[in-house]
Structure 1
Amino acid sequence: MRDGSTGESLGEAWQALTGGLRRDLGAQIFGQWIRPIKLGAFDSVEGELELLLPSDFSAKWVRDHYADRLGLAWKSAVPEVRTLAIRSRPNGAQIQRLRAVDDTAPTVQELATAQDSALDPRYTFENFVKAQANILAYTAAERMAAPEAPLFNPLYLQAATGQGKTHLMHAIGHAWRAANPGARVVYMPAERFMMEFVTAMRAKETMAFKTRLRAADLLLIDDIQFIIGKMSTQEEFLHTIDAIVGSGKRLVVAADRAPQALDGVDQRILSRLSQGLVADIQPADLELRRDILEHRLASMPQVQVGEDVVEFLARTISRNVRELEGGLNKLLAYAQLTGKPVSKQLAEEQLKDILSACRRRITIDEIQRTVCEYYRIDRSEMSSKRRARAIVRPRQVAMYIAKMMTPRSYPEIGRKFGGRDHSTVIHAVRLVEELRGKDSEMDNDVRALLRQLEA
C-alpha cells in the first residue's frame, strides 16, 4: 500500500506540518494529542492515510477535536492525501514499545513536572475578548483568580468546543500565579487525570499522585465529561474535590455540558460540581466574532487586512472561535509566505475547506424541517401562532439551533418563524439554554438534533 519513497515523502511532510500544528494549537495541546501520532499505511488509490494513536480513547479524541484541522493541513501539503483514517495502533505490545521510545507515557514524576508548568502563555485575561455571550464566565473567572476568597467554589465553566472555556481556565491560572508567586497551580485535562492516576497505581505511587494534586492551591481540570470508566478513578476524583474545596483551596472545572447532563459520572461528583457556580459561555455571535478578529489583528500592526475580509470571515466561519482563529492564522501565514495581499478573494481560495464546511453547516429551513421530523409535528407549525406546549417548545428549540448554527441575526431568524419579533427569538434562545442546563432530556434532544444536522 505504501512504498519506501512514498513513506519517506509522507514522513517529511509530517515533519513540516507538525511545526505549524504546534504553533496553531499551542505546545500543551500539541504535546498531548498530536505528538503521539504515527503514520500508518497510505492507500494511493483511495488517497487515505492512516494516523495511529496509542489508545482508542486518544484516537477518538483526535477524531472528534482535530480531524478537520489535520485534514486541512494534509490536503494543503500533500494533495494526494484526500482522507484521513484516525485509529488506535492495533498491537498492544507494540504500543508499549513505542511509548518507551517516543516518550508518550512519561513517569509519574515527569508528568508532575510537565503539568505544573502546563499553562499556555497565550491564554490570559488580557487576550480574552468579552461580550454578552461570555461575560458571566469571564467575570466569574476573574473573581476566582482574585486575592479575596471566592463567593463560590468550585467554578464550573460550561461551553461547546472552541468557545473559550479552556482560555479562561489558563487565564485564571496565570492571574493567580502572578498574584501568588509561591502558589501551586496545577492544570490538567480529565483524560490526563485518569492516565496519571492509572500510571500511579501501576507504579504503586498513588500517594505521590494524591499528595501533588491535593497540595495545589488552585486546581484546574478541563473536559470533565471524560471522567468516566473505572469507579476507582471517579472515587479518587471525588476525594480530590473534597480535599481541595474542604481545605479552602480553589477548584475550577470545565465541560461541554451542564453537570446534570454528564453521562456515566458518579452522582456524588455531580452534586459537588453543582454546589458552586455553573457559568456558561454561549456561542459567539457575529459581533463577537468580528471583535475577536479585530483584537487579534490589533496585536499585529504590520499586517494589513481590510474590513471586508474581517466581515467575510466573521460571517462565514461561525462554528466556533477556535476555528475562526485557525482560519485567520492560515490566511495570514499563506499571505506572508507568498507575498500576496490579504483579500477576500484570497480568503475564499485558501480557506475553501473551512468555508465549505461552514456553509454546509445548515440553513434555517433545514433546521426547521429536522426539528419538525424529530418532534413529529407539521412543518407549518414553525410559523403558526399556536401556543400549545407541544408546538411552542419545538419551535423554541429550532430558534435556538438556528442561532447556534447559522450566522443569522435575531431579526432574521424571527422573520423565518412567521415574522416573529427579535425579542421572541432572544427569549427562546435563553430559555432553551437554561433548560439544557437543568433538564437532561432537553439537553439530549438538542444534542441529538445537532448530531443529525451536522451529519
Structure 2
Amino acid sequence: MLWAQVGERVRGQIGTNAFNSWMRPLRIAPLDGRRVVLLAPTGFMRDWIKTHYRQILLAEFRRDMPHIDDVVIEASLTADTPRRANSDTAAASSAAPAEQPAPAAARHAVAEARIADESASVVNTLDDKLTFDNFVVGKANELAYAAARRVAESDDVAFNPLFLYSGVGLGKTHLMQAIAWHIVSQRPDRKVMYLSAEKFMYHFIRAVRFKDTVAFKEQFRSVDVLMIDDLQFFSDKDSTQEEFFHTFNELVDRKHQVVISADRSPSDLDGMEERIRSRLGWGLVADIHPTDFELRVGILEQKAALNPHVEVPDDVIRFLAHRITSNVRELEGALKRIVAHHELMGRKISLELAQEVLTDLLRANARQITIDEIQKKVAEHFSIKVTEMSSSRRARAVARPRQVAMYLAKKLTTRSFPEIGRKFGNRDHTTVLHGVRRIEELIQDDPSLAEDVRLLEAALSN
C-alpha cells in the first residue's frame, strides 16, 4: 500500500521511536485530487505533525506521486470534554468544534506518545549549568539541597510531594532542574516531566479547546516523576487547579514522585483551594532562606573559577558579597558585568572598576546605613558574633573589630560619640573616641587593616 511504502521511508529519516510515536497512529484517507489527507487521532498530534513532519511527508509522497501538491493532516478523533470549564478555560472550550471521542486504545496510544516525547524533550528544556555539582550549599539552603538529592537518588518515594519555596533568585529552580538532570542521566528508564505551571496550564487549556482532556489526563498521570515549577501561577485558575488536584492525588496514590516549587509556602498560596494547600503540605516543605555573606562569597568564588583565564581579586568578591544581598541572580549578573568589562575594554578587575560598572545595581541595593548594620558587616568580616560588639570581652580578636565598627559608625553615620557608645554595650563616649582614634592611627601603619577598613567602608557606602 502507498502509506506503508511512504511510512517505511519516513521511518528511515526520523527514527523508529519518533515514527512509532507520531506516524504509526496516522491513517490515510481516500485521495482528494492533488492532496493527500492523513488522519491523526487527536488535535494535539495533528498540530505536532504539521509543525515537525509535514514537509518530510510531502517529499516522500511526491516520490511516488509527483503530481501531489500538498499533504494535509486532519484530526479525526478527540477525547471527552472536561466536567467543568470556568474562568481559565471557558473561552477556549466555547470556541472548539464538536468532535467525537476517541476509543480508549487510541487515547492511550496518544498519551504514551506524548509522554515519550515530553520525557525525551526534558533535556532540551534544562540548563546544563543547573546541576547538583554547580549548586553551592550553605546554611540557607542545606535542607532543600539534601531533600532534593534524596528525591533524585532514591528509587523509593522519599517525600511526596517535595515542596521547595523561596523568594526570587535564591535557587529553587536550580534545585528543580538538578533533580531532573540527575534522574534523566542516571535513570533514563524513568519518565520525567518537568515544566512550569504556565506550561501545564497551557496544555490543559489546549486539551479543553480540542476536546482532548482524556488523553491529557493519561499523559500527566502516567509519568514516574512530575515536576512543576512556580505553582503560584495557578492562583485563581479554578479548573486548572481542579485538574492539578486530581493529577496530584492520582500520582501520590500510585507512589509516583511529585516535586513542586513556588515563591511561598503552601499555606501562603493565595488564590489556591484549601484542599490543594493542605495536600501540598503532606510531604516535605523546604524553605530556601536568603543567602548569608559566606554563601554569597562561595557562590561568587565558584562562578569566578569557571573562567580560569580571568582572575577576580578576593576584595572584589567580598565587596560584591557585602553589597548585593537581594538574590543570587543579581549577584551572578554583577560578576558577569565586571568580567565582561574586563574582557571587552581591557580594564583590570578591581574594586574601583566594580564600583564604577555597578553604580546602578549598587544604588538599587543600597540601604540607609545604621550602626546595627555596621556591627553586622564588621562581625561577618572578622568572623565574630554580633553580640561581641556589646560584650565586655577585651581580647584583641574582639576588641579590634569592635573599634573598627566604632570608627565606621562615626565616619558613616551622623551619630554622636555618646549615641555610638550606647549601641556598643553602653560604653562611655571616651571609650568610643579612643577606639576611633586608634583605628585612624593603625590604618596609617597597617596595610592589612587599612584594606579591611577600605573594603568595609566601600561595602557600606552608597
What range describes the TM-score normalised by the shorter chain of this pair? 0.5 to 0.7
- The match for 1:235 among 237, 242, 257 is 242
Contact 1:116 1:187 in 2 (8 A): no
Once the two structures are TM-superposed, the CA of residue 412 in structure 1 deviates from its matched residue by 7.3
Q: Deviations over 1:274-311 (max 9, x none)?
A: 00001111110011000000011122211111111111
Q: Which residue of 1 aligns with 2:299?
A: 292
Q: Helix, strand or coil for the counterpart of 2:189?
A: coil
Report whether the alignment pairs 1:119 with 2:126: yes
Q: Which residue of 2 aligns with 1:264?
A: 271
The residue type equivalent to 2:270 in the other structure is D
Contact 1:116 1:185 in 2 (8 A): no
- Mark the CA change 1:307 to 1:250 in structure 2 (over 3 Å): closer, same or farther: same
TM-score of the superposition, structure 1-length normalised?
0.56
1:307-326 to 2 correspondence within 5 Å? 307-326=314-333
Q: Which residue of 2 aligns with 1:35?
A: none
Contact 2:184 2:192 in 1 (8 A): yes
- The match for 2:288 among 281, 291, 309 is 281
Q: Which residue of 2 aligns with 1:74?
A: none
Q: Which residue of 1 aligns with 2:110?
A: none
Once the two structures are TM-superposed, the CA of residue 117 in structure 1 deviates from its matched residue by 3.5
- Mark the CA change 1:203 to 1:291 in structure 2 (over 3 Å): closer, same or farther: same
Report whether the alignment pairs 1:204 with 2:219: no
Once the two structures are TM-superposed, the CA of residue 353 in structure 1 deviates from its matched residue by 1.2
- Mark the CA change 1:198 to 1:363 in structure 2 (over 3 Å): closer, same or farther: farther
Report whether the alignment pairs 1:249 with 2:256: yes
Q: Which residue of 1 aligns with 2:168?
A: 161
Q: Output the CA distance in 1 between the equivalents of 2:150 and 2:224.
A: 15
- Mark the CA change 1:151 to 1:343 in structure 2 (over 3 Å): closer, same or farther: same
Report whether the alignment pairs 1:216 with 2:191: no
Contact 1:164 1:281 in 2 (8 A): yes
Report whether the alignment pairs 1:411 with 2:418: no
Aligned residues: 278
- Mark the CA change 1:254 to 1:364 in structure 2 (over 3 Å): closer, same or farther: farther
Once the two structures are TM-superposed, the CA of residue 212 in structure 1 deviates from its matched residue by 2.2
Q: Which residue of 1 aligns with 2:353?
A: 346
Q: Which residue of 2 aligns with 1:141?
A: 148
Contact 2:371 2:423 in 1 (8 A): no
- Mark the CA change 1:362 to 1:224 in structure 2 (over 3 Å): closer, same or farther: farther
Q: Helix, strand or coil for the counterpart of 2:320?
A: helix
Q: Deviations over 1:333-388 (max 9, x none)?
A: 221111222111111111111111011x4555899xxxxxxxxxxxxxxxxxxxxx
Once the two structures are TM-superposed, the CA of residue 172 in structure 1 deviates from its matched residue by 0.5
Contact 1:147 1:179 in 2 (8 A): no
Contact 1:143 1:150 in 2 (8 A): no
Q: Output the CA distance in 1 between the equivalents of 2:211 and 2:299.
A: 47
Q: Output the CA distance in 1 between the equivalents of 2:254 and 2:198.
A: 25
- Mark the CA change 1:409 to 1:123 in structure 2 (over 3 Å): closer, same or farther: farther
- Mark the CA change 1:201 to 1:115 in structure 2 (over 3 Å): closer, same or farther: farther
- Mark the CA change 1:194 to 1:285 in structure 2 (over 3 Å): closer, same or farther: same
Report whether the alignment pairs 1:152 with 2:159: yes
Q: Output the CA distance in 2 between the equivalents of 1:266 and 1:253.
A: 16
Q: Output the CA distance in 2 between the equivalents of 1:274 and 1:223.
A: 16
Q: Helix, strand or coil for the counterpart of 1:117?
A: helix
RMSD of equivalent CA atoms: 3.2
Q: Helix, strand or coil for the counterpart of 1:279?
A: strand
- Mark the CA change 1:321 to 1:234 in structure 2 (over 3 Å): closer, same or farther: same
Percent identity between matched residues is 44
Once the two structures are TM-superposed, the CA of residue 182 in structure 1 deviates from its matched residue by 2.1
Q: Output the CA distance in 2 between the equivalents of 1:185 and 1:413.
A: 51
The residue type equivalent to 1:193 in the other structure is F
Once the two structures are TM-superposed, the CA of residue 120 in structure 1 deviates from its matched residue by 1.6
Q: Output the CA distance in 1 between the equivalents of 2:300 and 2:257.
A: 32
The residue type equivalent to 1:267 in the other structure is E
The residue type equivalent to 2:229 in the other structure is D
Q: Output the CA distance in 2 between the equivalents of 1:412 and 1:349.
A: 34
- Mark the CA change 1:233 to 1:409 in structure 2 (over 3 Å): closer, same or farther: farther
Contact 2:165 2:172 in 1 (8 A): yes
Once the two structures are TM-superposed, the CA of residue 176 in structure 1 deviates from its matched residue by 1.1
Q: Output the CA distance in 2 between the equivalents of 1:248 and 1:199.
A: 28
Q: Helix, strand or coil for the counterpart of 2:194?
A: strand
Once the two structures are TM-superposed, the CA of residue 414 in structure 1 deviates from its matched residue by 8.0
The residue type equivalent to 1:309 in the other structure is V
In structure 1, list runs of 5 or more residues that go unmatched: 1-91, 93-107, 368-401, 421-455
Once the two structures are TM-superposed, the CA of residue 205 in structure 1 deviates from its matched residue by 2.2
The residue type equivalent to 1:160 in the other structure is G
- The match for 1:180 among 182, 187, 194 is 187
1:347-426 to 2 correspondence within 5 Å? 347-359=354-366, 361-363=367-369, 411=386
Q: Helix, strand or coil for the counterpart of 1:150?
A: coil
TM-score of the superposition, structure 2-length normalised?
0.55
Q: Helix, strand or coil for the counterpart of 2:133?
A: coil
Q: Deviations over 1:80-103 (max 9, x none)?
A: xxxxxxxxxxxx9xxxxxxxxxxx
Contact 2:230 2:262 in 1 (8 A): yes
Q: Deviations over 1:366-416 (max 9, x none)?
A: 99xxxxxxxxxxxxxxxxxxxxxxxxxxxxxxxxxx99xx99996179869
Once the two structures are TM-superposed, the CA of residue 209 in structure 1 deviates from its matched residue by 2.5
Contact 1:129 1:292 in 2 (8 A): yes
Q: Output the CA distance in 2 between the equivalents of 1:414 and 1:261.
A: 37
Once the two structures are TM-superposed, the CA of residue 211 in structure 1 deviates from its matched residue by 2.2
In structure 2, list runs of 5 or more residues that go unmatched: 1-90, 92-112, 391-419, 426-462
Q: Helix, strand or coil for the counterpart of 1:219?
A: strand
Once the two structures are TM-superposed, the CA of residue 116 in structure 1 deviates from its matched residue by 6.7
Structure label with greater radius of gyration: 2
Contact 1:116 1:186 in 2 (8 A): no
The residue type equivalent to 2:355 in the other structure is E
- The match for 2:198 among 191, 195, 216 is 191
Q: Output the CA distance in 2 between the equivalents of 1:121 and 1:140.
A: 21
The residue type equivalent to 2:321 in the other structure is A
